[in-house]
Each structure stands twice: as C-alpha cells, then as structure tokens.
Structure 1
Amino acid sequence: MHSTPSPAKLKLETLLQRCEGAYSQNTLRGYRNDLRHFQKWCEKCGEEWLPTEPETIARFIDEEAETKAMATVKHRLDAIRFAHVMADLSCPTEHSEVKLAVRRARRKKSARQKQALGLTSECLSKMVAACPNTLDGRRNAALLSVGYDTLCRSSELALLAVEHLSPCRSSILIPRSKSDPYGEGRIAHLSEETSALLKDWIELAGLESGPLFRGLHTGKMAEKALSTSSIRRIVKRTAEKAGLSGAEIYGLSGHSMRIGAAQDMMVAGIDTLGIMQAGGWKSKNVLARYVEKASTSKLHRRRWEFLNSIPPG
C-alpha cells in the first residue's frame, strides 16, 4: 500500500515539474535533494519552507555551517532562492539576516573547496599503458584520452555520441555542458594518439551510432551511455592498475582529465583565454582554481632555476 505524499513534497514536485525541459536533469536533481533537506529541517522546527522567512533561513545556515562544507551551504541556499523565484515569491535570501548568516558561516570555516587531482599527460600515459587489449580496456583508454584532449567533464563525456565525431576522427562536437545549458556546443580537437585509440575502440565494439562510451555487462555491450559515476570508477580502477599511489587514486575523479589538461596547457605557456576556449570556461576565477597548483609549481621552479644561476659570492 502506497503512502500519500505530504503536502510539502507535492508542492516541491509540482514546482520542479514546471521546470522540466528548461533546466537539466542534473540541476533539478540537485535542487530536489537540497530542498527536501530544507523541508525536513523546517518540519522539525515547525517552520514553513515555501514561502519562508529570512530569519528561518539564517538559523538554517547557522546550523548547517556546524557540520557542512561551505560549498554545501551555498548549494542549499541557491536551491531555496530558486524555489522562491520559480514560485513567483519575493526572495528572502537577499535579506540582510541571510547575508549576515552567510558571512558568519564563511568566517567560521574555510570556503575553499577540495580540488580533484589533475590527470596530467604523464599520469595519463601511465594509465593508458595499463589498459589491457580487451573490449573494456580499449574503451577505457579511449575514454581517458578523449577526456584529456577535450577537457570534458564526466557529464559531457557521457553525452558524446559516435555522430559527434568528425569523419577523420580528428575533432568532436561537445553538444552540451554545465556552462552551455542551451546546447550551442563547442568543437574539441583530438591528438593522433587519441584518434587511434578511438578507432580501436569503435571498430572493436562495432559502433556505428549512438553513445560513444557505453557500459559492458558480462562482456556484452549496453545500449545506454556510461553514467558519470561509472566514469569516475573507471578513472580510479585504471589508476590502480597503473600503480598510482593510494593518495593519488583517492584524489582522482571524473573531472581529473579536465583539470590535468588545463594544468598542462598553462605550463606549456598557453594564455588564459586559450585555455578557457579549449575547456568551455566562462569564469577566469574557476579556471584559476584549476591551474593554481601547476602555476605555483612553475613559479617555484623558475625561482629556483634563477637562484641557482647566480654565481656564489
């Protein structure tokens, strides 16, 4: 026997259904999770969640900041703002009480997000070499190399189809991304090595159309594309086969190819605008966080080289 959904849950689902097609499923899924969390907190405190008062949101932020990362607090605040805007209600998140609560949370803990480890060219070579000459091994080698060359997020890799490849497989269309919600797309270029790996995978898998990277079950090809969680597991499993350290494996994620490629481009002397265009970034600040480790390392190497070149005395 099915239980009747609560009025609060029905209100949330009705609100999100209106947004279908205007926002990606990943975005709506994130809003749903954050708003359900806020709903439960409001029910426990005897408060309304929509509309809600600025003082209620401020108390929520104060409590969340005790145990959650600042990024999580911000995501939940964005979800609350979204719900009020979509319900055509005045936005309480702009109230001074809420802004003060956010400042308290930021002062209490670092707002710095943990960054995934960059899968640089050196690391990529080791991992590709560790992929066996099997169906899943050829897929994994092609997946890692395409991710690096295109600077794709895992969600973008999951959207790639055979039809997006150019006839000679020297470039590929990235049809949609987090920073491209309307699907204008961008063209990414592939190295000769990556094109060869893709050729091996496509021919071995017998792909003619549909998702470019698919799951395998007991050696049989799935019809659906790999999920982002599957891509993340492939990255970590391949790193383990390549003999990377436990700390390196732990730091890798589905974003690691994107981060590593951006770091390599910066070290190679490619300017910020060029890297932004290659990876589809809209914000210099976001890119700066990606490449800062490589940037800092390069600056230190230059300093040491300069100091070592000075004659003693």
Structure 2
Amino acid sequence: MAQFIDNEAETKAMSTVKHRVDAIRFAHLIADLPCPNQHSEVRLAVRRAKRRKSTRQQQVLGLTKELLDRMVVACPDTLSGRRDAALLSVGYDTLCRSGELVLLRIEHLSPCRTRLLIPRSKNDQFGEGRSAYLSDDTTAHLNEWLDASQITKGALFQGLHTRKLGERPLVTASVRRIVKRAAERAELTRPEVSALSGHSMRVGAAQDMFVAGFETLGIMQAGGWKSQNVLARYVEHASTHSMHLRRWKRLSEIHAEARMPAQSGLALQPRYGCER
C-alpha cells in the first residue's frame, strides 16, 4: 500500500491519490477486513505524497452576475437558446451543482414557478431536499423555455435531437458544454471559456453573495454547504479581490489627503530658524 502511494504520487495529482486511497479503505471496510490505511508506513507515505504534491485544488471561474447577464443575452431566440438561458439562470439562483440541475423535474417546481425543490445533492444522500427561490428574470427565462418546449412532466432540462425534445434529461457533461458554448457566444476570452465549468454558476453566486455582505450562514443555507472550509475556498478569490480594492481605494484617499494644501485659510508660518 505504501509503495502504491509512492508510485501514484509520481504522476497523479494529490486529489487523485487521496480518492484511490479512500477507495481502498472503503473496499476493506465493506469486506470486513482490517484497513491498511492506519498503518504507520501507509500514513507516512501519504505525508510524503502531500509534501511532494500540492493539495490545493484549482478553482473554476465563477459565473458572477456580470458574466451571467452577458451570456444569457447572447443566447439565441431558439429552443436550445431558451433552454440554455433558463439553465444558466436557474443554476445561478439556486447555487446548484451540475449533478443537481440534471435531476430537477417539473414536479419540483412550484405552481407559480418561483420556487424549486432541490431533491438530492452530494451532501444530502437521503433526499431531505432544500428549497431555492428564483428571481423574476429567472422565472421569465424558465417560462419561455417551458412554453416553447411544452414540457409538462419529466426532467426540467431535457436534451434536444434535431432541434426537437429528446425526452431525456441532460447529463452533467451537457451542462458543462452549455456553459462553455454560451461563453463563446458572449465572446468571453479563451482563458475565461477554458476556466468555466458546470460548477461555475454555484461558485459565482456564492462569490456575489459574499461581496454583497451576506453572512456565512446564509450563504451556506442557500447553497446547501455543510462545511465553512469548503465555502471559504469558493469565495476566497472574491474576498481577496474585494479586500485589495478597498485597500487601494483607502491608500489613494490617504495619498490625496496628504497632497492637499491646508484648508484653514491661514498662510503656513515658517519654522523658527528658517527665516531669511
């Protein structure tokens, strides 16, 4: 086991190594066998791998309100365009993961189409669900999609075949493609398009809420987070950027005040010993 971890760490990311170590642990537990993960050699091998590899995960680009509006406006007035606009807007308002978006059904939508039940998530394996509310703009985009598609039951967001409903729900890979395609239509830069993913709506909404001054508990409830550490990784770029903006603004004000002449109306008196 320790040798396996050393070999994997040479070519694999630390997150991949961790997933495989956890899988081995789970297999032993299911088989009612002694778990090797607690052995001292295995624990030392994991520590060696962490020192060799960075454990920091690369954060996707957050789809903030500014980017969202640009991408939604760029969606064409077609059946697929209306679906894409509705999916992007719903994903932003509900802070859903791509896996949660594809599980949404018409039955989860309230009669007035302003509230959604998220039936299941990664942190909710037993299906307790959580409620999410939609803005007026998102409800309008959703109404346009449902009226055009005539969906009355089944998956809320369905795939299209030859510009017609395929009667099958989207998969998570489809959500990622829709996000990137909408970004290309909005003429985002190539690095921005590459950094976007099906998770970007969730990240961007959390960053916007943090910058707007929402409390951590409120953001966690809105997105269904169980850990503050996970949320902190989502909003760290937004918080750091906001902090630097405030810093630069305050420093500019201080420098401006230092350059301003005295406003007392009295001429500055020369120092003693400096008169000529």
TM-score by length of 1: 0.81
SS state of the match for residue 187, structure 1? strand
SS state of the match for residue 222, structure 1? strand
1:312 aligned to 2:262? no
Name the residue aligned to 1:152.
96
Shift of 1:224: 1.4
Name the residue aligned to 1:182.
126
Superposed, which structure 2 residues align to 1:215-254 within 5 Å?
A: 215-254=159-198
Which residue of 7, 12, 22 corresponds with 1:68?
A: 12
Partners of 2:38 and 2:155 lie apart in 1 by 43
Aligned residues: 257
Partners of 1:273 and 1:58 lie apart in 2 by 40
Partners of 1:259 and 1:94 lie apart in 2 by 35
Shift of 1:95: 1.2
Deviations 1:44-80 (A, max 9, x none): xxxxxxxxxxxxx111110111011100000101100
Partners of 1:247 and 1:132 lie apart in 2 by 23
Root mean square deviation, CA, Å? 0.7
1:303 aligned to 2:232? no
Name the residue aligned to 1:291.
235
Which residue of 48, 65, 73 corresponds with 1:121?
A: 65
Superposed, which structure 2 residues align to 1:82-231 within 5 Å?
A: 82-231=26-175
Q: Which amino acid aligns with 1:93?
A: N
Partners of 1:93 and 1:264 lie apart in 2 by 40
Shift of 1:90: 1.2
Shift of 1:109: 1.7
SS state of the match for residue 159, structure 1? coil
Q: Which amino acid aligns with 1:125?
A: D
Partners of 2:61 and 2:43 lie apart in 1 by 32
Q: Which amino acid aligns with 1:112?
A: R
Query: Aligned residues: percent identity?
Result: 67
Greater shift after overlay, 219-228 or 290-299? 219-228
Q: Which amino acid aligns with 2:258?
A: P
Partners of 1:115 and 1:61 lie apart in 2 by 25
Q: Which amino acid aligns with 2:67?
A: C
Q: Over alpha carbons, which structure has the higher Rg?
A: 2
Q: Which amino acid aligns with 1:59?
A: Q
SS state of the match for residue 312, structure 1? helix
TM-score by length of 2: 0.92
Partners of 1:213 and 1:130 lie apart in 2 by 19
Partners of 1:80 and 1:115 lie apart in 2 by 27
Shift of 1:312: 1.5
Partners of 1:77 and 1:182 lie apart in 2 by 25
1:269 aligned to 2:213? yes
Shift of 1:243: 0.2
Name the residue aligned to 1:4.
none
- Larger RCO: 1 or 2 (CA < 8 Å, sep 6+): 2
Moved over 3 A (4+): none
Gapped regions of structure 2 (runs ≥ 5): 260-276
Q: Which amino acid aligns with 2:195?
A: G
Gapped regions of structure 1 (runs ≥ 5): 1-56
Name the residue aligned to 1:259.
203
Partners of 1:62 and 1:287 lie apart in 2 by 31
